[in-house]
Each structure stands twice: as C-alpha cells, then as structure tokens.
C-alpha cells in the first residue's frame, strides 16, 4: 500500500488525481504492481445448535449501497453482528475452514500537507474504548510470542502495536479489538463442530501473513480470540511476501498487462471529472498547498481516519492566511461520488475482473488442494484450519475472482471464509465400510461467506446451482472445476499457464 512508483509519477506529471482509498470502490493500491507487492512487507451454544439445523435462509451479498455509509467501512466493533459461519443442514460434518482477513483499523498511510496529524494512541489499554474482555490477557500473552515458530522476516515484527503516537500504517487498538471480536465470533460458530479438536497438532493449523506489522498483529488477535487455549508452542507463522498470497506461482506477465490497462482506465476517468478537479483545487487552497501536492497526499485516507475515530476533518495550520479553514464533508462526498462512478466503469470495462482472475488463482488453487486433502479419511495430519492475514488489495481481487462483483469494498477487519462440508450419507457410508470418497467432490460441499453473509450462491461457480433441488449446499466439484479450468474462460484460456503466457 506504500507503493506509488511509476503510476504516481504519471499522476504528478499529468496533474490529475491519485487513486484513493475507497469505502465502496477501489483504491489505487487495490491493483498493485509487481513492485508494490514486494514493497508491502455471541450466541450461546443452544441457540447456535438450534439455528445450525435450519436450511439456509435466502441471503444476498452486501451490495454497493451497504458501503455508501462510511461508518460501515470503519467497522466499529460491537456485539450485534449476525454471523452465518458454522450453520448447516442437520448432521452435515464440517471438515475444514479457511479464512482470509484484512488487517484491522490502522493509522493513515498518507499525511495531508500543512495539517496536523490525527492524534491517536497506538498503545493498548483495556480501560480505553473500544475494549474487549480478552484484551488484558491478550496483551500479556503476546509477550510470550518468542515461543512460536516464525519464518523470517517475521521474527522481528512487534506482536502488538506499541507507540503512544501512532506511526504510519500502524494497527490501532480498534484494529486489535476488531479481530479479537472476529476470532471469538468464529470460535463460537464452530464450537460444536470440533474443526480443531482440543488436542490439535501443529500440522492442523496453518497461519500465514505479509510482513507488515498490521497484518501480523491482526492475525495474532484473530487467533487469540479463536483458540480456547492459545499455545505458542503449537503455532507456526509463515511469511507471504506477496499481497496476493501467490507463493511460488506469482510470475504472470498477462496479469501485469491487465493491471497496467486498468490503471490507464482509472487515469482517463479521473482526468475527465471536472467536479473532482475543482474540489481538489478548493481543498488545496484551504490548506495552502499546490493541487498536485494534495492529490499526491491521498487525502481520502486521512479523512477516513478522522471519520472513523470521531475526529474533526483536518484544518489549515495556524499562522497562515487560511488559519481556521477546514476540509469539509461536502468535499469528501465528491471524492466518494467519483469513486462510485469509477466502480461502475470498472465493472463495465471488465479489465479488473481479468486481473483479479490471474492474481488470485494461485491462492484459490491452494484452497482447493487443502480441501481435497482434508476430505480424505483419516486426514489427521492435514491442515484443517487456515488463516491468511492480508490487505484490502488481497481481499478485493479475491471477491472479484469468485464473481462476487456486487460485494462491498473490504472494510477494516473484513473476512472471507471457505467451509468444506460432508453430507450425512457420505459420512455414514464411510464409517460403516471404510470406503473413501469417490471422485473429487462426491458427498462434499462448499460454502463461502463474506463478513458473516453466505454468498455461495452468488459466486460464478454456483450461481446457476438449484439450491432447493436435493442438496441445499454447493457441490465441491463446482468449485474444483472453476478453479482448475472454468475461471480462465474470461481471458480465453483453459489453464493458468496458458492465461499468463499464451497471449
């Protein structure tokens, strides 16, 4: 998210706006360049059991309107969230869970010139709001982090935020509480499924994160809320150098070409927006800087921080001719309007969807492989719970690659959950005869949830499946076929290699 690189130089030279952090749309760094990737280092049990027996309700993905309220992007922690993780028809068995999270609330990455930085304390205190019942023990427990196994360069990353005056991009106490809440929410959702038994082995838990302190700390907060007995000795944390979590399969020239074409589309649309240009000129005059310097400071990032933390918008520094003048909500609204326009144009043109397909295939393929392994009988040593801690530029292309084009932009502490289920018929057959599953998806089903909402039947691979005919879940075979072949149809290919190198 720190990389501005070649694109920033282009924007400065042309005198047009930088891409902005968006609550309902995309940021510039929603589509990172290859160099950007490298720079980015409750309900009680009875109620849960009862509701889990229901056939799933008709659900709808969080659409663009749900993100138009900026406070939904802030994701202020509260206890009223409805989560559908862990719900299933009667007697279905949960085999594995894979979770991708965005880091929690953070300090801005950009500072508006000639204005005061927002005054936020990034140390942790249970007596300060927002807080959480686990916060005190979490702070104490993180001091024992040296007992875990850390891949380099994660060893030197602090386990908790610890600056009284937040540093750039640092996780705040709000961000920690958001993920303590997320972890505890999923702990309650899965408590009766024993997806991780009490005697779980290190092989059964997978944790990976980028090297940014905000993703490392968010992942730890989530795990601490999720695991009843957080045992450092059984935790191994893998380092993922790419924000796309593509591992050894990151090289894809076509992906980079789609990215460059998408960035040019963004550039052209912003150049043509006269109201946006006038707004930025007005904002620049207010704080006493050149318009191009204001754009380069990505002011929406700072404005969102002020909004989420209940702080007044930035004002011009004392002593200048504009002392006392402040940026306004009306100016903020113009930027958001342009971002909504960009979102519509992005969907119409389709370049971002192509980029996202190639960007997230390696992660989705890894997800599919883990599901296949977890479905084998006697898979005691397989990874059955996986946590990946990433960024908005991780989750946004993941949603697009799955075909969830109407899903809201990833808020702070957003989560995407993949669940693997086995039907009762398959379970009984296996236990009585010892016979393994036949075929890739026999008796196996997948659910995908976004921020607690079941969005499975809005995905590209299960949109046409009749959920009321025979099985109310989506067959795993649909997902496997999609990941291994069908998803490449959008780029006129049949495999990842052909899609990346065939043009």
pLDDT in tens, 421-450: 999 864 444 444 344 444 444 599 999 999
pLDDT at 468 over 70: no
Q: Are 308 and 256 in contact (CB under 8 A)?
A: no
Q: What is the pTM of this model?
A: 0.86
87, 103, 179, 391: the active-site residue: 103
| Catalytic residue from among 301, 343, 392, 454 | 392
Residue given tokens 């040019």 in the structure block: 264
Dump pLDDT digits (tens) for 115-148.
999 999 999 999 999 999 999 999 999 998 888 9
Query: Helix or strand or coil: residue 205?
Result: strand
Q: Is the pLDDT of residue 472 over 50?
A: yes
**pLDDT above 70 for 379:** no
Whether the Cβ atoms of residue 30 and residue 393 lie closer than 8 Å to each other = yes
Per-residue pLDDT at 390: 98
Sorted by where each begins, the domain ranges of the chain are 93-248+351-424+440-501, 254-348
Separate counts of helices (H) and strands (E) for the chain: 17, 9
What is the pLDDT at residue 415? Answer: 98
Taken in order 485, 491, 492, 495, the sign of the CA dihedral is negative
Using 50, 70 and 90 to split pLDDT, how confident is the model at 198? Answer: confident
Annotation says 239 is catalytic: no
Lowest mean pLDDT among 271-285, 293-307, 433-447, 452-466: 433-447
Residue 181 annotated in active site: no
Judge residue 271's burial from the number of C-beta atoms within 10 Å of its C-beta, 0-12 exposed, 13-18 middle, 19 or more buried.
middle
Rounded to whole angstroms, the Cα distance separating 156 from 449 reads 33
**Considering the chain, what percentage of its residues have pLDDT values greater than 90?**
69
The chain-wide mean pLDDT, for the chain, equals 84
- The dotted CATH code for 93-248+351-424+440-501 is 3.40.50.1240
């Amino acid at each position: 998210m720190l990389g501005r690189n070649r694109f920033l130089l282009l924007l400065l030279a042309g005198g047009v706006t930088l891409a902005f952090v968006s609550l309902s749309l995309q940021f510039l760094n929603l589509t990172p360049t290859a160099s950007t990737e490298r720079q980015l280092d409750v309900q009680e049990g009875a109620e849960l059991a009862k509701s889990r027996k229901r056939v799933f309700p008709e659900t709808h993905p969080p659409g663009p309107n749900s993100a138009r309220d900026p406070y939904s992007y802030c994701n202020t922690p509260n206890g009223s969230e409805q989560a559908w993780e862990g719900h299933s028809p009667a007697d279905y068995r949960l085999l594995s869970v894979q979770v991708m999270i965005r880091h929690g609330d953070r300090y801005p990455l950009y500072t508006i010139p000639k204005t005061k930085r927002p005054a936020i304390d990034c140390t942790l205190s249970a007596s300060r709001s927002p807080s959480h019942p686990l916060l005190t023990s979490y702070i104490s427990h993180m001091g024992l982090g040296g007992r875990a196994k850390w891949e380099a360069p994660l060893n030197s990353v602090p386990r908790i935020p610890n600056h009284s005056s937040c540093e750039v991009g640092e996780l705040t106490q709000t961000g920690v509480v958001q993920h303590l809440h997320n972890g505890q929410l999923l702990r309650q959702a899965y408590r009766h499924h024993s997806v991780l038994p009490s005697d779980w082995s290190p092989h059964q838990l997978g944790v990976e994160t980028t090297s940014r302190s905000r993703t490392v700390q968010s992942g730890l907060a989530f795990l601490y809320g999720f695991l009843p007995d957080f045992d450092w000795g059984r935790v191994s944390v893998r380092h993922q150098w790419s924000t796309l979590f593509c591992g050894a399969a990151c090289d894809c020239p076509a992906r980079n070409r789609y990215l460059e074409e998408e960035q040019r589309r963004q550039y052209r649309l912003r150049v043509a927006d006269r109201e946006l240009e006038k707004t930025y000129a007005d904002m620049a005059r207010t704080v006493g800087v050149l318009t191009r310097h204001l754009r380069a400071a990505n002011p929406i990032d700072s404005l969102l921080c002020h909004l989420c933390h209940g702080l007044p918008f930035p004002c011009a520094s004392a002593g200048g001719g504009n002392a006392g003048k402040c940026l306004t909500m009306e100016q903020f609204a113009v930027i958001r309007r342009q971002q909504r326009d960009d979102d519509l144009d992005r969907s119409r043109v389709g370049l971002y969807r192509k980029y996202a397909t190639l960007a997230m295939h390696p992660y989705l393929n890894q997800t599919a492989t883990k599901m296949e392994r977890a479905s084998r009988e006697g898979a005691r040593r397989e990874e059955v719970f996986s946590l990946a801690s990433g960024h908005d530029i991780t989750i946004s292309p993941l949603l697009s690659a799955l075909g969830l084009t109407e899903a809201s932009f990833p808020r702070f502490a957003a989560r995407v959950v993949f669940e693997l289920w086995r039907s009762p018929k398959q379970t009984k057959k296996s236990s009585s005869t010892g016979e393994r599953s036949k075929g890739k998806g026999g008796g196996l089903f997948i659910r995908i949830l976004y921020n607690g909402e079941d969005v499975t039947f809005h995905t590209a691979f299960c949109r046409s499946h009749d959920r009321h005919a025979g099985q109310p879940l989506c067959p795993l075979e649909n997902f496997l076929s999609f990941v291994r072949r069908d998803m490449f149809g959008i780029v006129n290919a049949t495999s990842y290699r052909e899609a990346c190198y065939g043009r």
